Structure 1
Amino acid sequence: MNVFEKDLAGMPLDGRDPEVAPIIEVIKQTQRIVARLNSGVYSEGEVRDFLSQITGRAIDPSLWLIPPFYTDFGRNIHFGKNVFVNSACTFMDRGGIYIDDEVFIAPKVNLITINHDINPYNRPTTICEPIHIEKRVWIGVAATICPGVRIGENSIVGANAVVTKDVPPNTIVGGIPARVIKTIDIEKYAPKE
């Protein structure tokens, strides 16, 4: 298993270990691309081209992302179709960020998949866990989604919420830490055939 696979698998990695050097190199390359993206005015297509360079894969033409945009690693971000990402979001993606179709992400949202060891003498060690955002989720302005969280389809995360646990489908959450506020009656809103 290489260091990238270990990172995605959630294995602890000590940032002082030479084994981590390839991850640091990707971070440096990504930061150069992010700096270019955030220092100009680009068309939606040009922004998607930058995102393709950052992620290392094609970006669906239905994605709309408004810069500035921040990411540390970039290669572990996966966008679905018809996704909207507003400005000044931060995606720390070493653990993997999976965004399904028709997701709306408000400005200044933080998706954070990395954590440091609780042991203060081992703080350079990182542990990653993925974030999954299912279909038709809306994440409100300045919300933070913590490592290992899954946001169930059709759910809403309120502004400034800090989500530390999974959110069930069809649910509105808010607060610090986020708690269930309401269940969405999905039958009421489902398209009629």
Structure 2
Amino acid sequence: MKDIFAKDSSGEMVSPHEPGYDALIADIFATIKTATEMNTGYRTPEEVHEYMERILGKELDATTTVLPPLYIDYGKPVTIGRGCFIQQCCTFFGRGGITIGNDVFIGPKVNLITINHDPNPENRSATYGRPILIEDKVWIGINSTILPGVRIGYGAIVGAGSVVTKDVPAMTVVAGNPARVVRKITTPGQQ
């Protein structure tokens, strides 16, 4: 039988009524405590990197910049690539897994949400996760929300204020609620 951490990371439904849930919540509160410490007062870029490495439980490349405050519930299933720039006031619900590629720009107040609740009202306190994958060179505009299970393709742009409910093709611009493709991105020399 899987423990609750294995169930949670594999996307299975977990409930506050099952064994181990207290340990999962304790780990989440430990992450939130570290993030709150990082978010309280001015921190040098080096200090932010140290805090982020504690939150993630792994190295954060020196070429990546995170501007606090960052609100994050669980950092262990989150991976952030090289050359990324993550603006202020973002919220990452990381339990379902977030993978951010290289050279990704994430605007202020962006929400990456990997957790959902059971639609059954009798079991609504149970949750399950779906991973978010953000490929290289993506730009996510201010105040956008990326929902569980979404993959954003290489070089795509998510317009400001969008709610992304399904996969975004590479080299496209999406916008709206729900976000939809508004155009393809062409590079110089392309027709």
| TM bracket, shorter-chain basis | over 0.9
- Aligned match of 2:116: 115
Structure 2 residue ranges without an equivalent (≥5): none
1:187 to partner: Cα distance = 6.0
Conserved? CA contact 1:16–1:124, under 8 Å: no
Aligned length: 189
SS in 2 for 1:78: strand
Give the structure 1 partner of residue 136 of structure 2. 135
* Aligned sequence identity (%): 44
Q: Is the 8 A contact 1:170 1:186 kept in 2?
A: no
* 1:12-51 aligned within 5 A: 12-51=13-52
* Distance in 2 separating the partners of 1:39 and 1:16: 33
| Post-superposition offset of 1:35 | 1.1
Distance of 1:58 and 1:148 partners within structure 2:
25
Match of 1:71 in 2: 72
Instruction: Give secondary structure in 2 for the equivalent of 1:14.
Output: coil
In structure 2, give the amino acid aligned to 1:108.
K
| Structure 1 residues without counterparts, runs of 5 or longer | none
Tell me if structure 1 keeps the 8 A contact 2:133–2:150.
yes
Runs of 4+ aligned residues of structure 1 deviating over 4 Å after TM superposition are none
Within-5 A mapping of 1:1-193: 1-186=2-187, 188=189
Return the letter of the residue paired with 1:27.
I
1:92-134 per-position Cα deviation (integer Å, ceiling 9, x unaligned): 0000000000000000000000000001110011010000000
Letter in 2 for 1:161: S
Hey, what's the Cα distance between the residues in 2 that align with 1:19 and 1:155? 39
Offset at 1:188? 3.8
1:121 partner letter: E
RMSD: 1.1
Counterpart of 2:92 in 1: which secondary structure? Answer: strand
